[in-house]
A and B are shown apart, each in its own frame.
Chain A
Amino acid sequence: MKRALTAALLVLLALPLLYAVAQLPPHGSASSPPYTHVSPRYLERGPVEAGAENVVTDVILNYRGFDTNGEVTVIFTALAAVLAVLLGVRKDAGPVAGEPRAMSPVSPVVSFVVRLLAPFVALFAIYVILNGHVSPGGGFQGGAIIGALVIVTTVIVGRSQAEALVPARARRLLQAAAPLTFVCIGIAGLLMFGDYLAFPRVADLAWLRTAWLIAIEMGIGVGGAAIIATIFWTMGDE
Chain B
Amino acid sequence: MSHAFDLTLLLLLTASALAAIRTKDLLGAVVIFSTYSLLLCLIWQHRGAPDVAMTEAAVGAGVTTVLFLVAIGKTVRRER
Asked whether any CB of A lies within 8 Å of a CB of B in the complex, the reply is: yes
State whether A144 and B50 are in contact (beta carbons under 8 Å apart), knowing that A228-B63, A235-B70 are contacts in the complex.
no
Minimum CB–CB distance from A224 to chain B (whole Å) comes to 10
A223 adjacent to chain B (CB < 8 Å): no
Measured in the bound complex, the distance between the Cα atoms of B51 and A136 in whole Å is: 5
Given the complex of chains A and B, what is the CA–CA distance between A235 and B73 in angstroms? 10
The answer to whether A148 and B66 have CB atoms under 8 Å apart is yes
A214 CA / B32 CA spacing, docked (Å): 36
Q: Is A141 a contact of B63 with CB atoms below 8 Å?
A: no
Q: Are the C-beta atoms of A56 and B58 separated by less than 8 Å?
A: no
A81 to chain B, nearest CB (A): 14
For A36-73 the 0/1 string (1 means CB < 8 A from B) is: 00000000000000000010110000000000000000
Least distance between B77 CB and chain A CB atoms (Å): 13
Which residues 23-62 of B have a CB within 8 angstroms of A? 50-51, 53-55, 58-59, 61-62
Which residue, A56, A144, A231, A232, has most C-beta atoms of chain B within 10 A? A144
Contact between chains at B70 and A236 (CB < 8 Å) = yes
Output the nearest chain A residue to B3 by Cβ-Cβ distance. Answer: A28
B51 near A232: Cβ-Cβ < 8 Å? no
A144 partner residues in chain B, CB cutoff 8 A = 55, 58-59, 62-63
Q: Are A138 and B63 in contact (CB under 8 A)?
A: no
Closest chain B CB from A229 CB (angstroms): 10
B63 to chain A, nearest CB (A): 6
Instruction: Check A148 against B70 for contact (C-beta < 8 Å).
Output: no
Interface assignment of A151: CB less than 8 Å from any CB of chain B:
yes
CB distance from B67 to the nearest CB of A (A): 7
Interface residues of A, Cβ cutoff 8 Å to B: 54, 56-57, 128, 136-138, 140-141, 144-145, 147-148, 151, 228, 231-232, 235-236
B54–A136 CB distance below 8 A: yes
Q: Is residue B15 contacting chain A, with contact meaning CB distance below 8 A?
A: no
Which B-chain residue is minimally distant from A60 (CB atoms)?
Answer: B51
**B71 interfacial by beta-carbon distance below 8 Å:** yes
Q: Are B62 and A137 neighbours in the complex by a CB distance under 8 Å?
A: no
A145 CA to B61 CA, complexed, in Å: 10
Contacts of A141 in B (CB 8 A): 51, 54-55, 58
Nearest B residue (CB) for A135: B50
Min distance, Cβ A26 to any Cβ of chain B, angstroms: 13
Q: Is A140 in contact with B67, judged by CB distance below 8 angstroms?
A: no
Residue of B nearest to A147 (CB): B63
**Additional A-B contact list (13), CB under 8 Å, known A57-B51, A148-B66:** A54-B51, A136-B51, A137-B51, A140-B55, A144-B58, A144-B63, A145-B58, A145-B62, A147-B62, A147-B63, A148-B63, A151-B62, A232-B66
For the complex, give the distance between the alpha carbons of A144 and B54 in Å. 10
Contact: B58 with A232, CB < 8 Å? Answer: no
